[in-house]
Amino acid sequence: MDESEAYSSEDEDISLTGSDFEFQLTTSKRKLNSTQEAASPKRVRHPSVSGSSQSQTPEESQGLRPRSAQTDGRATACHLYEAVRSGRSALLTVIDDWLEEYRRDREAGILELINFVVQCSGCKGVVTREMFSRLQNADIISQLTTEFNEDSVSYPLVSVGSQWRRFSEGVCEFVSLLVRGCRNSLLYDDFLFSSFIALLTGLADSQVRAFRHTSTLITMRLMSSIVSVAAEVNAQAQMTRRRCELEKNKSVEHRAIDRIEELEDSYRELLEHQEDLRSLMNGIFKGVFIHRYRDRVPEIRAVCMEEMGVWLRENPASFLNDEHLKYVGWMLHDKQAAVRLQCVLTLQKLYVEKDFISRLELFTSRFKERILCMILDKDSDVAVETVKLLLLIKQQTEEGLSEEECAAVYPLVFATHRGLACAAGRFLYHTLCSVLDGRSDKCSVSVLRLLAHFFIESEYHEHAAYLVDSLWDDAGVELKDWELMTSLLLQESGVEDELESALIDIMMCAVRQASEAMPPSSRVQRKNLTAREKRLQAQERRRITNHFIPVLPQLLAKFSADVGKVSCLLRAPLHFQLEVYGTSGRLEKSLDLLLSQVCDIMLKHREECVLEACVRVLCALCSDCYSFCGRAERAVSQLLDSTVEKFSSNLAEILQGSADEDDLYGAASSLNILAIFSSARDLTGRNLFEFCFQLLKMGIETREINEKLMVPALKCSVFHLFWNGTKIKQHTPARDKAELKRVMKALHSFCVVCQSCLSVAQSRIRNQAFVCLCDVLLVFGKLCEGDGSPLQLFSPDDSLKAEMASFIIDYVFSEPDEDLAGEEECEEMKMAALLQRRNQLAGYCKLIIYGVLELRAATDILKYYNKFYRDFGDIIKETLSKSKMISSVESARTVCLCLQQLFSGLEQDRRDEELSEIRLLAKKLALNFSINLRLIRKPLLALHQDGIRFASQGLDKGDLMNLSFLEILSEFSFKVLQPECKQLSLYLRRVFASVINSEFVKMYERSLTSGSKETPAAAEKPSRKRRRTHSLTSRLETPAVTSHTRRVDMDDDFTDGSVLRKSVIHSRQQSSPFSQSIQSHLSTLSLGHEDASEDEEPEIEDYDDEDSELGIALPSTHGSASFLEDLFQ
């Protein structure tokens, strides 16, 4: 029989009987009738070796056996099982002892082997000699199933604990050594392996998961061992045939007839062995693999794919063909990540072998699209290994991946998952190196240039740190070549401006990575550094310091006019070993040069990013822990003195009204510097608050508001108040009172000015004033209930509270500017504006949460919960959650008050439309109440009572306008328990006795009746719907599922037309992920889901899982303030 026919897709159409499958070994001396094989699928009953003819007892005829027989059977199998379970015995010796016993009594030996499998499955039953001789495999398995311990869902292969950790490996090692021990004789007899495999095939078809899993694992490892033996036999047969031919080709006088006959006999014997092994493999493949590779249990499917990889590698002549590769390709679509991962690992081991590439060409072309989709797999491990597989395909094949297909992998260097990003970085680095064509003389320079170009084209210009971290393991030599990078930046000819910016950004990120030895913050943090890593980190910091101390002033001098470049370069000193500056006079000159450059840059620029970078450097150099801090303090003091003097002179001209443009520009520049310094240093001794307050007061009174002066004046004033508050805590109590009184007076004046600024036309002043108010009230505001810190003495008046609430309504809960809508270039501006509005709302919410504003101030926020859910839903929901922790009853009353205010503001011409919107808001607010109904009994009761009272207003005067509010209130009825429903019904009938027949009253009463729960105990813990499961264990965590791109007619993948099978494919059209641009990959990292059904093999049976979206995350392109933890902490 031709080998390719033995594993063709026609095998899948063979009907197998599972446990009753029979293996018939064919040899050249013994031909069996194929008709008889098909007609007799039952296992042959083997006569007893001992020849005993004892009569069978009635109990034995029913499949039962005496206790003595059970004890003997278990004792014989216990030796093998305990040897494997303990892991302390030498398995080779155990197998040798078993082989000796088998040669003495083969039926007893195979019974010991079968009972070993039964024990490995966790079954307490025993197969006796009588059962084995007289019962069919199906009957034996049925009886074992009845004796299985159904109280436990665990069995040895999935048990946890130290004693079971290596059990699976021990079982596989036992099976491998058993086959190796039998490879010369017993592997080819008609009894041992045919009987053993027949029973394993039946167990693999069992409904009991333990039997199915254990027998599949043993059978698959048995198959792998037989495949290895078959490969050796094939090699021996080829060698024997060549030796025989060489002997025949000799001349007659040198030809040895006896030798030729010996070689021919040996060759015929090897051919018989080949046929026997092929029959065994064919039987296992059809009887077990064809059914179990699509088993409902993912662990079984993963075992099949793992062992299939062994067959493909060990015996490529028989297995490395399209008829077997297709199974691996099909399982790339599996819903369980463990199975997909095993398929990818199997393919990696195939593509790494250069000799296999020609056999994989058709497979590559057929399944390449699916592999490319798997780089976006929901499971990160699958995505990582897929990228590694694509790199192997690219390296091993001439045209394995096109440029478009490679472009699909590149954006993953910015992924937040570090393993995936590093795999993509390795892919990118090898691609860049392949472009150079081996030009090693300028390799580093070229790699850096190509890397900078890639960073520019990626359009993720804020995330160079992610790119550097992704390439750190592979391109670390180039990224840490500080001399080369700085020489490129300082050379006279220079490079393009855009390339310079990218190179500086990459260099500074590499400096940070080398000095901190940590990935970016949003990627998974490593554990504590080892001693070796700390030593290497210190060496890198020393090397960075020694190189950049003389070079950094030159770079700052060259790029001092460029805002982006200089602000980036100023990050370098923060990673120096700054104590080095005090070790020698030459380095102190470098320190003076650096201080001079930084001070000059501060005087040249007004941009906040540059000024903040300069202040960070100067504050780091002024630290008391360095011996040279005095020199840095003198430089900073001189800078501040000159700045304050310049500001004072310009301010005098401004207050007198004689200032020109130069005076205004000078004052604004000086005040910017002072405001940034105030955030980092205590400048209260320079009395800047008086100057700033005069400036603010004049701007408000004269309405001649200069935005460039007012904004830094507000910042400087608020930091002055904060520094004064800090000093009050450090002073003695006697000085505290006088100082605190002065601070409270200044605070009151400042709040009055800020309140006036809330209504000005300039948005920057308005926004800055609101932020300042939120900050000072949070620090100094008096709590509504309880005592706060000694500084919290300021009570905001009602007019200030109303002004702040109006600001939130007018400028936070407002639609975006219509002029900006639809313009692509304004997307970034709109996102920045949204981020600012989110920060303002979060600041106001913190005042409510921390008790500065009363809880009912949240009504102005809750009104917009539904309308602005997309922009502010998370903040409002978190505020509502925190308010429940403060007072659940007051929180519920606040919700009701919010709805009452909206109801009172209904317009008559749009009443129905607005009423439906209020009902939708009420429905959404009701969902925020806890699912534990016992905890919300009092809050809901208070909410309903307040609502009923509101609806009853005006009844004594005959006004029924508020009655329709009961329709809104009914949205909260479904969470009210039965006792409260009765109480509310009585209260409702008492209040609305005069209008009890009103449709609104009846509708509300019906909602209480239909929405009530039976008992609080039933509502305390919602019952979880039981899900039917077919597995006997669920201790192992179920891997995440992924959606699939397309299921195809899988049997037509590798056939030449001789085997045609029908399949019906229902799929949604989806564009290939690598046919889009880089930006489309970054914005739509998702896999399309397409449903398909097939008539035959490719479908995986009976999944209990559902598809889900992928989980590849890219770093946010916006500030961290968009996250709740940054907003509320």
CA distance 916 to 907: 13
Q: How confident is the model at residue 787 (pLDDT cuts 50, 70, 90)?
A: low
pLDDT average, residue stretch 1073-1082: 36
pLDDT average, residue stretch 208-213: 90
pLDDT average, residue stretch 1010-1016: 52
- Classify residue 523 by burial, with Cβ atoms within 10 Å: 0-12, 13-18, 19+: buried
pLDDT tens, residue by residue, 460-476:
778 899 999 999 999 98
| Among the ranges given (622-631, 694-703, 730-739, 833-842), the one the predictor scored with the smallest mean pLDDT | 730-739
Q: Which residue has the higher pLDDT, 1087 or 756?
A: 756
Highest mean pLDDT among 63-67, 87-91, 667-671: 667-671
SS3 64: coil
As a whole number, the mean pLDDT across the chain is 80
pLDDT average, residue stretch 972-976: 90
Residues 6+ apart with CB under 8 A from 934: 977, 1016, 1019, 1020
Q: How confident is the model at residue 368 (pLDDT cuts 50, 70, 90)?
A: very high
Q: Which residue has the higher pLDDT, 10 or 963?
A: 963
pLDDT average, residue stretch 875-883: 94
Q: How confident is the model at residue 78 (pLDDT cuts 50, 70, 90)?
A: low
Instruction: Check residue 841 and give left, alpha or beta (phi > 0: left; psi -120 to 50: alpha).
Output: alpha
Q: How confident is the model at residue 442 (pLDDT cuts 50, 70, 90)?
A: low
The pLDDT value given to residue 817: 60
The pLDDT value given to residue 958: 78
The pLDDT value given to residue 188: 86
Looking up tokens 């390709």 gives 329
Q: What is the largest CA-CA distance in the chain?
A: 136
Q: Which of 382, 412, 201, 233 is nearest to 314 (CA)?
A: 233
- Classify residue 369 by burial, with Cβ atoms within 10 Å: 0-12, 13-18, 19+: middle
The pLDDT value given to residue 350: 94
CA distance 808 to 1047: 52
Query: Dihedral, CA atoms, 1035, 1040, 1041, 1042, nearest 10 degrees?
Result: -160
pLDDT of residue 75 exceeding 50, the answer is no
The pLDDT value given to residue 460: 78
Note the Cα 1086 to chain centre separation in Å: 13
Q: Which residue has the higher pLDDT, 906 or 1023?
A: 906
pLDDT of residue 495 exceeding 90, the answer is no
pLDDT average, residue stretch 310-328: 92
Residue 196 vs residues 20, 42, 661: alpha-carbon distances, Å: 12, 14, 99
Residue 484 vs residues 431, 432, 446, 477, 487: alpha-carbon distances, Å: 22, 18, 11, 11, 5
pLDDT average, residue stretch 954-977: 88
What number of other Cβ atoms are within 10 A of residue 361's Cβ?
12
The pLDDT value given to residue 957: 81
Q: How confident is the model at residue 243 (pLDDT cuts 50, 70, 90)?
A: confident
| Among the ranges given (425-439, 649-663, 1014-1028), the one the predictor scored with the smallest mean pLDDT | 1014-1028
CA distance 771 to 835: 13
Q: What percent of the chain has pLDDT over 90?
A: 43
Q: What is the pTM of this model?
A: 0.76
pLDDT average, residue stretch 778-795: 77
The pLDDT value given to residue 439: 56
Q: How confident is the model at residue 911 (pLDDT cuts 50, 70, 90)?
A: confident
**DSSP, residue by residue, 585-610:** HHHHHHHHHHHHHHHHHHHH---HHH
CA distance 467 to 482: 17
pLDDT tens, residue by residue, 257-308:
788 888 888 888 889 888 989 999 999 999 999 999 999 999 999 999 999 9
pLDDT tens, residue by residue, 125-144:
888 888 888 888 888 888 88
- Asked if 838 and 846 count as a contact pair (C-beta separation under 8 A), the reply is no
pLDDT average, residue stretch 1047-1062: 36
Q: What percent of the chain has pLDDT over 70?
A: 79
Q: How confident is the model at residue 1098 (pLDDT cuts 50, 70, 90)?
A: very low
Q: Which residue has the higher pLDDT, 419 or 1084?
A: 419
- Asked if 337 and 1040 count as a contact pair (C-beta separation under 8 A), the reply is yes
Residues 6+ apart with CB under 8 A from 587: 549, 580, 581
pLDDT of residue 732 exceeding 80, the answer is no
CA distance 765 to 709: 10
644-649 contacts, C-beta under 8 A, 24 or more apart: 644/670, 644/674, 644/686, 644/688, 646/670, 647/671, 647/674, 647/691, 648/691
pLDDT of residue 192 exceeding 60, the answer is yes
CA distance 309 to 346: 5
Residues 6+ apart with CB under 8 A from 603: 639, 669, 673
